[in-house]
Amino acid sequence: MRRRDDVRARRPAGNGLRPAGAVSLARALSKFGVCSRREAERWIADGRVQVQGAVEREPSRWIDPSRDQVLVDGRPVGDETPRVVLAFHKPKGLVTTRSDPGGRATVYDALGDVGRWVFPVGRLDRDTSGLLVLTNDHQLGERLTSPEHHVPKTYHARVAGLPDAEALRALREGLPLDDGTVTRPAKVRVLGTPRGEGSTWLEIVLTEGKNRQVRRMGAAVGHEVLELVRVRIGRLSLGDLAPGEWRELGPAEVLGLLAGARLPRQ
């Protein structure tokens, strides 16, 4: 008879073929919203995780999340783990990462203690401010970031100069970027031209999220992006949330994040 604290170091079952519906133990803990995958690997190595009543020290152990009992520090975890979704006003100057090798300030430095592990849904570069969503719900994160879902994200961009009709048309219809990829059509409108600044505020609505896309789009039409703020995701607006502040979203607001999204093709 095996004691509950026995240790089983397991390799993936069979001939290395992944059983249907199975995921690695480390990935399962991440998808349950318990911790990041890297943290899960450490917790497993430290003997804090049990599968089916026995300590498991192999992060790549395949489990069936719908059937196998998983405990962390003696407490059951699974898909029923409470989910949390936060809206955060990211200030300019913070990087969107857990830690930075160069010692730069991160969004987590501004967030402080939110009571549980959360990850950022997508990124805003260091010089971009505005609405950033953080959650422990991987399914929601995938729906918000997957290009197949076309979730609209609205930016206000101050660009150098005054874009003419041809530049606006190119931004709206899609244009090749510096790496040869072509952007999807976007909604673009002129918001105003600050007097004496030689620049123009544009509203740009994207349904994809290429790396530094708005800045690269501006460069492609000869109008450098001088300032960039994300003001809306789906129907969720930044509103009056002050820079560096965050708040938890209610169920209706979470649904609003996905407003305008499409179902992926089967």
Q: What is the distance between the terminal CA atoms of the chain, rounded to a whole angstrom? A: 47
CA dihedral 129, 186, 146, 153 (to 10 degrees): 30
Residue in 125, 137, 178, 240 annotated catalytic:
125
Strands 54-56 and 49-51: antiparallel
Q: Any catalytic annotation for residue 125?
A: yes
Show the tokens assigned to 80: 């029923």
Q: How far is CA 157 from CA 3, 7, 22, 208, 260, in A?
A: 61, 55, 44, 16, 22
Alpha carbons 232 and 260: distance in angstroms, whole number: 12
Helix (H, G, I), strand (E, B) or coil at 62: strand
3-state secondary structure (DSSP) of residue 265? coil
Active site amino acids? 125
